[in-house]
Chain A
Amino acid sequence: MDDKNNKPIPLTESEAAEIRAAASHYPDPSAASIEALKIVQKHRRWVSDNNLQAVAELLGLSAAELDGIATFYNLIYRKPVGEKVIHYCDSVSCWMLGAERIREHISKRLGIGLGETTADGRFTLLPIVCLGACDRAPAMMIGDELYGDLDEASVDAILTREDRHG
């Protein structure tokens, strides 16, 4: 939805090679759709319209088909995101145990609303469905790290640490 110049930005050679390698494991290359999108994301953090069209061509899918897959998954980003994406869980257990309070606290601390990225490009805040950590609700995920039993104090500590590292 960003780069509106019509020519697809060709994927870099290494991206294309990684995607081809992933696709070669399946009789039907479209089975590698998610992997392919994650490869793009690994290199670019998110998948632009033009990237998506290029991947679709590589896998022999229509752009619509691949975007249907891309937009189904919370962890495929179709808009630019910051270096770290905070996914706070908004499903029922977390909602009952104060997910909204946690979100407000994160928003206030980082100065961003849902779907927004901090000015320094460090964090993006997004919701996610049940993280399978209901026993530790409210929960959130930053990168691959899962955090449970959140309250304002623990969120502060986590964000400070996450900001310092990586």
Chain B
Amino acid sequence: MAKITLDGQVYDVDAGENLLKTCLSLGLDLPYFCWHPALGSVGACRQCAVVQYKDASDSKGRLVMACMTPVTDGLRAELEAPEAREFRASVIEFLMTSHPHDCPVCEEGGECHLQDMTVMTGHTVRHYRGRKRTHRNQYLGPFLNHEMNRCIACYRCVRYYRDYAGGQDLDVFAIRNDVYFGRFEDGVLENEFSGNLAEVCPTGVFTDKTFSAHYVRKWDLRYAPSVCAHCAVGCNTSPGERLGVLRRIINRYHGEVNGYFLCDRGRFGYGFVNGEERIRQPSLRGEPVSIEAAVAHLAGLASGRTIGIGSPRASLEANFALRALVGAENFYAGLSRAEAELVAAILDVLRRWPIRLPTVREVERADAVLVLGEDATSTAPRLALALRQAVRNQALELAQELKIPGWLDAAVREAAQGAKSPLFLASPAATRLDEVAEAVYRGAPEDIARLGFAVAHCLSPEAPGVPDLAGEDARLAETIAAALASARRPLIVSGTGCQSLEIIQAAANVALALAKRNPERSAPADAPDQSPPSAGLTETMKPVDLCYLVPECNTLGLALMDGRSVGDVFAAVQEGAADTVVVLENDLYRRADAVAVDHFLGQVKHLAVIEHTFNATAEQAELLLPSGTFAETEGTLVSLEGRAQRFYSVMPPAGEARDNWRWPAA
């Protein structure tokens, strides 16, 4: 703790933070540009100046940048000192000399950090009479506009894109008044987290191009707290709607999950909500019917023995409503056979092994990571961005030894010279994270599993060894084991990506072997290593962080309700258990091969499908019941962290669509 005095007021605050962050946390208005809570301080924009005093007798003080000033006990500063106020006003005035002042046609207008700061400093009259320097804009792909004339050279974009997200095709060019932020040449931005530029840039240089296509001002949008439906990470979002059209998605801060950033899939993947392929009307054998008639028909169908097929992309509530309609014994999760098996294995590990599911934020803090059989950038993008930050922990530790605070970004990078915490990556094909990995292992799923088992064996001799491992691979296993063993916060990431039970097993074995190592966490010596430890045993071990990536936004939630696959449904119908099936938001052709699905649908007499967008299953429905997308309904999803998160509807369902849970519940 530290006692500090700001403008004569005494505050108790945390020591060690920077003064700008502390001021903002206290609710004080201090303008700034280049500092960003996730990127730290570089002192580039000179906007956050305050006057700091040496001691009680110092009456003159000196100008300092708040973002570069560590908070220490007894610190005394004035935000309102005339010198500081004038300095800040003049900085804005300089930054604005070449700015086009085009707020009325700028899509940032109304939610622009630069507007806010300019007004805050009181710079309302333009004195500069010279010519403005202008830039040529670039084509950056379908997601982002580029309007360089609005740039104030805060460097946030390149620091985010290059340093934080690992992009290599956005940079800063030239010098002085001409600095230019863009690509080497026109072209699509390569990084899968490029969309965050629209939020990171404090001006209207980078704006959301998909939003431009149906732009309205921020204050004309209606928002609702939502959760991204595109993968199992469960990033928190704010979809914005106007007049029945979903206009854009922006990040909604969640300190333990997505923080300030989304992936491009989550941010830009909303077009389907407004899409032509939406199902807007209930229909019976292809003919439009009223909602009442549809409800009555469904009730008729469900009066006998009916099978319900749930969905890993529908909420717990919708799945529950369907289960309530058909009865628990007739409700099937509706995953593919392989998925169902894999997820069951994962659940078993999560329930009974000495492991702990880290949050995305905790993934960022890991100081040694083994990724076993996953391309996280594809299966859980935001988590891959967190893994990229985890690699920086070594740098942060080095800086700490030198007494450099972690937020002093440029100094940390300079001191650490690219030092990295170990990240080991085993996957069948190249991944985006390879470039930051200490070692990469390429192999078939079986080989990856064997590597995992070998690592477990290196960590704990009780774990079964892999006898015929090539020398090189055995050495890699030893290296990985040594890194994990000496780490303070080791992390194992695995999942269903390779469709391999062995990999899931191997990851669990590594975690268990690690848990057994630490004397404080150690288990009774006679514990069998292979079979899952008993409840009593796990209690004596300190759990190890293990994160399983599962495919869809509610895979884990659904698997907690029921574990049976579409294969089980096919078998039940084959045996004549029922001839009526209700499918909830699930395209069966994605869960089994087409021949099997066709055969199954041939046996079903009555097929009802609740769905929001046409697909091959919906097209064969006798009764088709239109539902709302994530933006038009509410419910709960269970993320890969095991976090149940509620999302809310931002707009009423399109046409005659209804909430997916309302159909079976009616």
Contact = CB atoms under 8 A, between A and B. Distances in A.
Question: Would you call the interface of chain A mostly helix, strand, loop, or mixed?
Answer: helix
Nearest to A56: B184
A49 interface: yes
B34 to A, nearest CB: 17
A31 to B, nearest CB: 11
Contacts of B184: 49, 53, 62-64, 67
B180 to A, nearest CB: 8
Interface string A72-104: 101000000000000000000000000000000
A156 to B, nearest CB: 30
A53 B172 CA distance: 16
Question: Would you call the interface of chain B mostly helix, strand, loop, or mixed?
Answer: loop
B168 interface: yes
Interface residues of B, number: 13
Interface size class of A (residues with CB under 8 A): 10 to 19
B171 A67 contact: yes
A65 B167 CA distance: 11
B174 A64 contact: no
Nearest to B180: A71
B292 interface: no
A67 to B, nearest CB: 5
Contact of B170 (A64, A74, A129): A64
Nearest to B158: A68
Nearest to B418: A28
Contact of A64 (B169, B175, B176): B169
Interface string B311-328: 000000000000000000
Contacts of A72: 173-175
Contacts of A74: 175
Interface string B181-202: 0011100000000000000000
Nearest to B182: A64
B168 A65 contact: yes
Given A64-B183, A64-B184, A71 B169 contact: no
A65 B172 CA distance: 8
Residue from the set A53, A68, A72, A129 with the largest chain B CB neighbour count within 10 Å: A68
B185 A62 contact: no
Contacts of A68: 171-173
Nearest to B162: A65
A3 to B, nearest CB: 13
10 contacts: A49-B184, A63-B184, A64-B168, A64-B183, A65-B168, A67-B171, A68-B172, A68-B173, A71-B174, A72-B173
Given A68-B172, A72-B175, 5 more contacts: A63-B169, A64-B183, A67-B171, A71-B180, A72-B173
